[in-house]
Amino acid sequence: MFNYVGPAKPLREVTSRTLEQGRFYKIDDVWMPSVTTVVGHQSKAGILKWQERVGFTKAEQIRRSSAWRGTQYHNLVENYLKNDVEEVEKGEGLPTYLFRAARQTLDRIDNIHAIEAPLFSHNLRIAGRVDCIAEFDNELAIIDFKTTKSLKKPEHLEKFFVQEAAYAYMYYELTGVEVDKLVTLSVAEDGSVQVEQKYDKIPYIDTLIDWISEYHDGVKDAA
């Protein structure tokens, strides 16, 4: 059984909307871009080149398959962390296979502060939903759950750590609680599991601030 301690201060629910430009959250009558939208802006050119190479139809098929795989897996992990084991064990197919592969690693989580919780920052003017804030190996962490076709080299995970650093910043701004580390927990379709951890959040927050600026510059140029 996982222990749920809850956030240090209540995290209020927020309204969101998805547009062609990305996902946005309404915070005190201001629509702020999601962390995913800001980070995704960095990959836009590469994604367009990839789409040209494989073709739009194939690219869309891969996107939908990846989104379905990720959503179903996240639902299983969320239910498991909420101690709904019966619901998890009823599952089948690829998402369930991925969950079972990751289950032993998920058991390193405890003392959960939040699962799929809304966060935002007035300072950075961004918002989003964090996968999990909890202790991982007895240290408080932002934990991001990823599914992938095959595991990536650690040096190719920067955007995930930037995203996690954003959540760490927002959680501190809202609650005054600083997490110890950032954790990216990935599981591949062959069942292999990868855990990458970072303790120094500052370089990723610096990168995040640069990316937020570049995102807003890009929006201005497109207007």
Q: Which domains does the chain have, with CATH numbers?
A: 15-222 (3.90.320)
Q: Which token pair is 146?
A: 């990823």
Least Cα distance to 185 among 147, 133, 130, 135 occurs for 147
Yes or no: say if 166 and 152 are a contact pair by the CB < 8 Å rule.
no
- Per-residue pLDDT tens over the stretch 149-197: 999 999 989 999 999 999 999 999 999 999 999 999 999 999 999 999 9
* Predicted pLDDT at 66: 73
Q: Is 2 helix (H, G, I), strand (E, B) or coil?
A: coil
Query: Residues 79-96: what's their mean pLDDT?
Result: 83
Q: Given this model, what pLDDT does residue 217 score?
A: 86
The string over 46-82, giving b where at least 16 C-beta atoms fall within 10 Å of a residue's C-beta and e elsewhere, is: eeeeebeeeeeeebeeeeeeeeebbebbbbbbbbbbe
pLDDT for the residue 51:
64
Report pLDDT for 68: 74
Q: pTM of the full predicted structure?
A: 0.92
The Cα 45–Cα 14 span in angstroms is 30
- The CA distance from 13 to 11, in Å, is 7
